[in-house]
A and B are shown apart, each in its own frame.
Chain A
């Protein structure tokens, strides 16, 4: 069966013929796939890429312990944890904060480029990549949450205090923008060419 000439309401999923403008059940406007979505993912993706640099180069956490002030970037924090012997935590932060964002950028660039330049990649593979990007991307937020929670918790004056660095916000914004970019990609477009 072909769904080419059918429209599914985004809200109640009732199926309409292609000439319908509004859903006959919930009265929502029926959306047709629009090429604008791709432009939107590019905008979000490039914004996220710009934020990637401050997020990784500036300190994410500033520790004040007995008068000594140390600031750590994300990579520095991972190395510090590794040196202290917390291999498990170091691995979690390494995967969530360094590996996943890079993998996500590569995946999103691959998807956007293949759509923009009409490269003939397998629709099934593209959908799998898309699904993984969408699922895994949000877990990068864990490092931001760790820093924000530690800063809220550990405030003991001169003995030990932790403050969030400027990278925390940049990193959070980066993750949010990659989520928006992934959300703007419409995987149905991968399959349009598959049908032809």
Chain B
């Protein structure tokens, strides 16, 4: 059974110390007194911020797959690619494993991550959470661990500098959309806090279940 008096405590994920974390004020954070890890941070309007930044990120991601990404011209020859063509080219070169990896990194994980964030934070905002919302919170954590689209974006910048001397490069609309996608995703992650969200899900669920339990008790008494 869980211990009710410890509902506002956290066991430090890093060193295992039991820390009592009171309800934080906006903008403040709680650190572990033993290993200094940030246990939780409460941002101002965190749910709204995560929701709006994630929706913006998803729109930018959708936009970025539809249009020209980069164009290069060398000796009169021009080649333009979309974001997805940079991956399908790998498949046509018979680089199946690398192509699959890149598909997952460039659009797969980011799309799943952003969609789950929208669903999770949206359901908290609409107070339609249940015990299963915790599962989504867990999956969000896993996807975040493997999500590397910001590293990929830095990789694109490095690639562009690498070939800048060899060919003329034009930047397409998709490129900017992907850049904005990365910015919005970063902003959403900065406002995301697992402990605060888990606490919100627990409290909303308990709040919703309490009146129902009371009424069933009454019903059994009447019966």
Contact = CB atoms under 8 A, between A and B. Distances in A.
Nearest to A93: B158
A50 interface: no
A153 interface: yes
Interface string A153-196: 11110011001100011001000000100010001101110000
Given A1-B18, A24-B1, A13 B10 contact: yes
A145, A164, A183 — most chain B CB neighbours (10 Å): A145
A152 B102 contact: yes
A179 to B, nearest CB: 8
Contacts of B2: 9, 14-16, 20, 23-25
Interface in A100-128: 123-124, 127
Interface in B171-223: 194-195, 198-199, 201-202, 205
Contacts of B6: 6, 15
A16 B202 CA distance: 14
Contacts of B131: 25-27
A56 interface: no
Contact of B134 (A12, A17, A138, A154): A12
B159 A153 contact: yes
Contacts of B7: 14-15
A90 to B, nearest CB: 10
A127 B155 contact: no
Contact of A142 (B97, B154, B194, B198): B154
A148 interface: yes
Range, interface on chain B: 35 or more
A8 B18 CA distance: 10
Contacts of A28: 134
Contacts of A168: 98
A146 B70 contact: no
Contacts of B97: 169
B30 to A, nearest CB: 13
Given A25-B2, A145-B155, A152 B85 contact: yes
B18 to A, nearest CB: 4
A151 interface: yes
Nearest to A66: B75
Contacts of B14: 127, 131, 187-188
Contact of A153 (B13, B70, B148, B151): B70
A195 to B, nearest CB: 9
B195 A183 contact: no
Interface in B36-73: 37, 70, 72
Contacts of A159: 74-75, 77
Contact of A17 (B1, B18, B85): B1
A150 to B, nearest CB: 5
Contact of B135 (A9, A26, A145, A149): A26
B151 A8 contact: no
A150 B159 contact: yes
A36 interface: no
Q: Ordered nearest first, which 6 A-B pairs have the shortest CB separation?
A: A145-B155, A152-B86, A8-B11, A3-B18, A188-B16, A26-B134
Given A13-B10, A14-B202, 11 more contacts: A13-B11, A16-B2, A17-B1, A81-B162, A142-B154, A152-B89, A153-B86, A156-B72, A187-B14, A188-B16, A191-B34
Interface of B: 1-3, 6-7, 9-11, 13-20, 34-35, 37, 70, 72, 74-75, 77, 79, 81, 85-90, 93, 95, 97-98, 101-102, 105, 131, 134-135, 137-138, 145, 148, 151-152, 154-156, 158-159, 161-163, 165-167, 194-195, 198-199, 201-202, 205
